[in-house]
């Protein structure tokens, strides 16, 4: 039976992705910083483990408890929307600690077992902000662009060992906990000088015809995990698909 470990499963993309893989008959290890009961079905094919991807000890404990992992999905992340001028550098470092270095540390932790078996898939979730320049997400985009370059190189580096590395690029999803996962509020990062510009930018982001659902992302992760081809990128959501076709 195939086993997937997914990070950031307390809500949003991660939660829906865990449900999706479970529905497909996989064994699912859903991880989150603070495990919650009742958000996933009781099943002998599903376990919830505590995991803070910014803590090396927490990662080691989760990997040890999980056992053999066929697919790793790096979904955990924090968002940041606002003027870069007003974004504290301490917060920028937190964004990179989670979105970039947390992902890298998880990957490094699972490579040895996958390499020994000469099989495995690593799926890193980034963002459609890597597909075209977008305002008011400079630090966030930088953290995700780093993962894009990292994953592309990793796909070549690990391919010789039968390990595939993939990218899922979700579009804008106003229903997710993007901003709620941050300890800095959007309103704190919009100085008065940026207010008019930000209002226009956020209105454009809110176009209901071009938004991404949690199910869009779960399905894209599923396709990435089960596709045996060398395809690297899987845009998720109508807006992300449109951007990917335009570049």
C-alpha separations of 107 from 74, 103, 104, 154, 215 in Å: 8, 6, 5, 10, 24
Whole-number Å distance between alpha carbons of 3 and 68: 7
Q: Which of 140, 194, 205, 234 is catalytic?
A: 140
Do the Cβ atoms of 73 and 12 come closer than 8 Å?
no
Residue with tokens 């060398």: 230
- Our answer to whether residue 13 is catalytic in this structure is no
C-alpha separations of 239 from 145, 185, 204, 208 in Å: 18, 25, 12, 10
Q: Which residues are catalytic?
A: 140
């Amino acid at each position: 039976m195939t086993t997937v470990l997914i990070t950031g499963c307390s809500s949003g993309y991660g939660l829906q992705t865990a449900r999706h893989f479970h529905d497909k008959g996989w064994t699912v290890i859903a991880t989150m910083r603070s495990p919650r009961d009742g958000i996933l079905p009781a099943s002998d094919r599903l376990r919830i483990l505590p995991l803070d991807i910014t803590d090396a000890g927490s990662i080691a404990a989760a990997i040890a408890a999980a056992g053999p992992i066929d697919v790793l999905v790096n979904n955990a992340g924090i968002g940041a929307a606002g003027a870069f001028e007003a974004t504290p550098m301490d917060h920028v470092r937190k964004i990179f600690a989670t979105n970039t270095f947390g992902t890298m540390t998880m990957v490094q932790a699972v490579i040895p077992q996958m390499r020994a078996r000469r099989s495995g898939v690593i799926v890193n979730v980034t963002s459609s902000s890597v597909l075209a320049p977008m305002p008011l997400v400079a630090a966030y985009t930088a953290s995700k662009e780093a993962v894009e370059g990292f994953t592309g190189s990793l796909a070549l580096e690990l391919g010789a060992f039968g390990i595939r590395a993939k990218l899922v690029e979700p579009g804008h999803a106003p229903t997710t906990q993007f901003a709620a996962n941050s300890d800095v509020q959007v309103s704190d990062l919009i100085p008065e000088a940026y207010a008019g510009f930000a209002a226009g930018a956020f209105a454009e982001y809110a176009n209901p015809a071009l938004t991404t659902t949690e199910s869009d992302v779960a399905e894209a992760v599923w396709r990435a995990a089960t596709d045996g081809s060398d395809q690297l990128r899987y845009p998720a959501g109508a807006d992300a698909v449109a951007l990917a076709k335009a570049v």
